[in-house]
Every structure is written in structure tokens, then in C-alpha cells.
């Protein structure tokens, strides 16, 4: 039997996406299932890992039979996910607490302490500046704030590793996710004893590290029953969504760039070596051992549009039930009627702070009585584009050459948003036929089981470009003038955001009722 299908699984920040791909790069089936995020306190963001697995189960249940996929033809399974998110496991491989998401901001105090005491040492080991979006400070926070949980901890995993554990029973990770923990010695490609000693993290908590394409095990009988797949199907280690997305979009040569419109957004350029300049620009491994990504990002990207939908666009949600267009398409249609620049309304997309400043808050600036709901919708699209343009400028300051951009992510499905990003950048964009990380993750699995002899062969065989988007230079000039206002307001927001953060903390403390003594 010719096993020609590759199953790629992406555990995203907002939901699980699966893509089943044949060995020629054709998508045989795909599915997506949202899951909730909990925000129990200001700045916190958590999810329950069991919801990831349940979303995967429902995706497969609704997809394999519907598309008449013979599970026996699936040659490989690979899982990808966002990095930094922490899953803490106990001695019986049970999940000890909800997963702390990479966009959680509870660790500001721990970050400041680590920066002041050992910031340079950690940067030298990991190429990362200590920040709230990394796994290291989350571990320190649990050790300090939840000692009873900490005592039970036996293993840490990232989201893709937890799902793969549910598939095979193995406890492991790949180089890219290990690097994202801020516990990894980058030059030696091994866990850093120095950083673990600094943070009082036992080395025994850390899983074994492998290349992303390595076959780590096979699908267990229990997982096969639960998911409707075949016991013994090879499962590879997998990798981060960023690495998988670049692979799936064909960004494998130096100078090729990615603009990502997903829950978070980023700009990533393939380079021959690392070019870190924290806290704005970071270096990560590429799936090719000889390459790197130079990356700058915005924490809140497509999640801003989802927030706007839920907060202000319930009319479009209701209308979509009786319409062939979904709520986001209806919002796009409304935003398309607003002039470029929203008549001076500017949005800063810092719903969960910024990588370089966790205190920053989102805002709409320039509101007048002229602005209606449609202006706010378009302002969100433009504000995210401005934040990504700021990322490009930070990377260019380092002398990194950018030859082209591929626009990917769920937000890239919007023609209006693609054009806005193109106009803000003032450069043409390439739109791959398939631009989500589950597709690239599927290719990682195919690479692992030998369906492709190399990364380059996989790209030649499977990656197709649908169109090239050209900018309006007139719109670019208008956006360039507004971008100066966007940047000025961003700078002015810093002090005000810190003041607001302190004020909210004081209000929280004053509202706490002391416990009664008996």
C-alpha cells in the first residue's frame, strides 16, 4: 500500500488546525477547532491542555470520514505549536496546572529580578533577553508562587510535546522549542546548566532534545482508538509554528521573509547567522541547521480582530448565520468602505502588552465624532499592519537584507488585510497557496519518514505561490505619514501604561477583603 499522506497538527494559540497533505503537496483535508483561553487575573493567559487534545480528536473525527481519508495511507504524523508556553507534568505524567501561555504577563517581577542579577549571562547563553514571554520566568514564578505545585513537578513540555506525548507516550522536544524556553545553550545545542543554576531549575525537569524530523515513536493503540487512526503510524518530533510556517511557505534561502498574521504576528527573515538585538529583534534556529531566522514580533495580531468581533461586532456574528460570508468577511466588507487611514483613527494592538514592554496597553487614538463602527474595524487592521512595519524597520536597522515577503497566517486569508499590509510596507508580497503552520508541519513529518530527500526537495514539490500583491505607492505615502503618529503615540504610551498598571494593582489590593479570624 502506497502510504502517501502526511498529517500535520498545529496547536495554535486560538485553536487546533490539522492538514492532511499528499506527497505532491495537495491538501486532501483540513479542519480547525477553536478552544477557550482563560484570563483569571489581569495580564494572565492560560489554557487547559486537555482542550487541545479534544480539539484534535474532533478535527479528525469530522475530517477523516467526511473526506474519505483511509487512515492506513497516512505515512507520518507531526505536531507543531507556538513556543514558550509551559505545560508542567507530575510523576505520573499528569498535568499539574493549566498551561501558562506565551502571552501571559504575570512574571514582570521575576523578569526584572533575573535581568538585574543575571541578564548578561542569560543573554550570552541563549541569545535571548529575559522577558515575560519565555518559559524560564514562568518556571520561576511557579517555584515562588505555587510551591506545592512545584514540589510535584517532574517534567516540562511545550504544547506540541504534550500532544505528541498523548500520541506516543514519549517525553521529548526539538531544538527550536528548547531554544524558546530560555534554558538552552544555543552554541552547544544542549540544556544550559548555567541558566538552570541561576534560576534554580533542576536539569531533571528538562526533556531530551532531538532534531524536528526525527521519528520519536509510533501512534499508541489507545491514541489510535481515540483519534480514529492506525496504531503504529510513525510520529516525528515536530517543531515550532514559526519554523514550520517558513518551511511550508518556502522561505529557506537567506533574504526570504515571512510576514505572519496569526494570533501573534511577526516578521521573520532567513539569515546565514544569528542577528539578535533584544528586546526588539531575536534569533531562532531555522529547520535547516545552517540557517537562522531574524525575527521581530507583535504579541497581539489576529487576536485583535477576534477580540473586536466578540466585543463590538456581534451584529456581524448574527448576520453570518444567515449569510454565506463569515463574521470576519462581513467586517472586512464594512472596513473596505472606510478611506485609507481611517480619517485619523489609529489603533495600537497591545492587548497583551509588547515584547519589549509588557506594560503597554492597546488603544484607539484620534477618536472624533466623525468615526463610526466601521472606522474602528479598519483601524484594527491598519494598526496591526503598522506594528508589523515597525518590526521590519527594526530588522533593517541591523543591516539584514530582505529580498521578498511571503504573507501567511489566518489573517492572510483576508484580501483587504493583505492589501493593507502590502500598502503599509510599500513592497510586493507573495501569497503562498497554503500558508498555515499545519501544512509546514506535515512536510516535517514527510521529511522524517523519507518522502522527501531534503528540505529543498520538499519545497520544490509542495510549495506553490498563488499570487503576488503589489502596493499602491499613493496609499503607502499616506500610511508613512500616519506611521509617524503611530510611533510617537507608542513612545508616549510607555509611562502612562506603567502608571495604569500600578493603579490597577493598588485597586486590586484595596478591594481584597481580609479573611475573618475565628
> What would the pLDDT profile of 129-188 be if each residue is shown by its tens digit?
999 889 999 999 999 999 999 999 999 999 999 999 999 999 999 999 999 999 999 999
34 forms beta bridges with 15
What is the pLDDT, as a whole number, of residue 65?
85
Name the E strands within 292-367: 292-298, 346-348, 363-365
Going by C-alpha positions, the residue among 500, 56, 35, 399 that lies closest to residue 235 is 56
**End-to-end CA, the chain:** 73
CB 336 within 8 A of CB 415: no
What is the pLDDT, as a whole number, of residue 334?
96
Going by C-alpha positions, the residue among 194, 158, 164 that lies closest to residue 176 is 158
- Please list, in sequence order, all residues whose beta carbon lies within 8 angstroms of the beta carbon of residue 374, skipping any fewer than 6 positions away: 334, 335, 337, 338
Residue identified by cell 489576529 is 302
Query: In this structure, what are the phi and psi dihedrals at residue 67, rounded to the nearest 5 degrees?
Result: -95, 5
Query: In this structure, what are the phi and psi dihedrals at residue 317, rounded to the nearest 5 degrees?
Result: -60, -45
What is the pLDDT, as a whole number, of residue 514?
52
Query: In this structure, what are the phi and psi dihedrals at residue 298, rounded to the nearest 5 degrees?
Result: -120, 130
Q: How far is it, in rounded angstroms, from Cα 473 to Cα 425?
A: 10
CA distances from 239 to 67, 79, 81, 243, 264 (A): 27, 7, 7, 7, 17
pLDDT tens for residues 24-65?
A: 999 999 999 999 999 999 889 999 999 999 999 999 998 988
Q: How far is it, in rounded angstroms, from Cα 383 to Cα 199?
A: 37
What is the pLDDT, as a whole number, of residue 214?
97
What is the pLDDT, as a whole number, of residue 516?
41
Going by C-alpha positions, the residue among 188, 170, 190 that lies closest to residue 178 is 190
Taking phi over 0 as left and psi of -120 to 50 as alpha, with beta for the rest, 78 belongs to beta
Parallel, antiparallel or unpaired: strands 208-210 and 172-174: parallel
Regions of the chain with pLDDT less than 70: 1-2, 512-518
What is the pLDDT, as a whole number, of residue 517?
36
Instruction: Report the predicted TM-score, pTM, of the whole model to 2 decimal places.
Output: 0.84
What is the pLDDT, as a whole number, of residue 3?
72
Name the E strands within 65-143: 74-81, 87-89, 99-100
Amino acid at each position: 500500500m502506497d502510504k502517501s499522506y502526511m498529517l500535520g497538527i498545529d496547536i495554535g494559540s486560538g485553536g487546533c488546525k490539522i492538514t492532511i497533505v499528499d506527497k505532491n503537496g495537495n491538501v486532501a483535508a483540513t479542519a480547525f477547532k477553536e478552544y477557550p483561553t482563560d484570563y483569571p487575573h489581569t495580564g494572565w493567559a492560560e489554557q487547559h491542555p486537555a482542550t487541545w487534545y479534544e480539539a484534535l480528536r474532533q478535527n479528525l473525527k469530522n475530517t477523516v470520514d467526511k473526506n474519505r481519508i483511509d487512515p492506513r495511507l497516512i505515512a507520518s504524523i507531526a505536531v507543531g505549536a507556538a513556543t514558550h508556553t509551559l505545560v508542567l507534568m507530575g510523576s505520573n505524567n499528569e498535568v499539574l496546572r493549566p498551561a501558562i501561555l506565551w502571552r501571559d504577563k504575570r512574571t514582570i517581577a521575576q523578569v526584572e529580578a533575573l535581568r538585574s542579577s543575571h541578564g548578561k549571562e542569560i543573554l550570552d547563553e541563549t541569545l535571548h533577553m529575559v522577558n515575560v514571554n519565555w518559559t524560564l520566568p514562568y518556571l520561576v514564578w511557579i517555584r515562588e508562587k505555587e510551591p506545592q505545585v512545584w514540589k510535584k513537578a517532574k517534567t516540562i513540555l511545550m504544547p506540541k510535546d504534550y500532544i505528541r506525548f498523548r500520541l506516543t507516550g514519549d517525553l521529548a522536544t526539538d531544538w527550536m522549542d528548547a531554544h524558546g524556553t530560555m534554558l538552552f545553550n544555543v552554541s552547544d545545542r544542549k540544556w544550559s546548566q548555567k541558566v538552570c543554576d541561576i534560576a534554580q531549575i533542576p536539569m531533571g525537569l528538562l526533556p531530551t532534545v532531538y532534531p524536528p524530523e526525527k521519528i520519536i515513536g509510533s501512534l499508541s493503540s489507545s491514541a489510535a482508538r481515540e483519534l480514529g487512526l492506525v496504531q503504529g503510524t510513525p510520529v516525528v518530533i515536530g517543531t515550532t509554528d514559526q519554523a514550520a510556517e517558513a518551511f511550508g511557505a518556502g522561505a529557506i534561502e537567506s533574504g526570504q521573509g515571512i510576514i505572519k498574521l496569526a494570533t501573534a504576528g511577526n516578521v521573520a527573515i532567513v539569515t546565514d547567522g544569528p542577528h539578535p538585538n533584544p528586546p526588539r529583534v531575536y534569533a531562532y534556529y531555522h529547520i535547516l541547521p545552517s540557517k537562522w531566522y531574524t525575527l521581530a514580533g507583535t504579541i497581539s495580531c489576529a487576536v485583535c480582530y477576534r477580540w473586536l468581533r466578540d466585543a463590538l461586532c456581534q451584529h456581524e456574528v448574527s448576520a453570518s448565520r444567515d449569510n454565506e460570508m463569515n463574521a470576519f468577511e462581513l467586517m472586512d466588507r464594512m472596513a473596505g468602505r472606510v478611506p485609507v487611514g481611517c480619517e485619523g483613527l489609529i489603533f495600537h494592538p497591545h492587548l497583551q502588552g509588547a515584547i519589549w514592554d509588557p506594560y503597554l496597553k492597546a488603544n484607539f487614538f484620534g477618536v472624533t465624532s466623525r468615526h463610526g463602527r466601521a472606522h474602528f474595524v479598519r483601524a484594527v487592521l491598519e494598526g496591526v499592519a503598522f506594528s508589523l512595519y515597525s518590526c521590519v524597520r527594526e530588522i533593517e536597522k541591523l543591516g539584514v537584507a530582505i529580498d521578498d515577503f511571503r504573507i501567511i497566517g489566518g489573517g492572510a486569508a483576508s484580501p483587504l488585510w493583505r492589501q493593507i499590509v502590502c500598502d503599509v510596507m510599500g513592497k510586493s508580497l507573495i501569497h503562498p497557496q497554503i500558508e498555515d503552520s499545519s501544512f509546514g508541519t506535515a512536510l516535517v513529518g514527510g521529511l522524517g519518514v523519507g518522502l522527501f530527500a531534503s528540505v529543498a526537495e520538499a519545497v520544490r514539490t509542495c510549495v506553490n505561490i498563488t499570487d503576488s500583491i503589489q502596493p499602491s505607492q499613493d496609499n503607502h505615502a499616506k500610511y508613512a505619514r500616519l506611521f509617524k503618529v503611530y510611533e510617537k503615540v507608542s513612545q508616549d504610551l510607555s509611562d502612562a501604561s506603567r502608571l495604569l498598571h500600578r493603579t490597577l494593582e493598588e485597586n486590586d489590593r484595596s478591594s481584597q477583603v481580609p479573611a475573618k479570624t475565628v
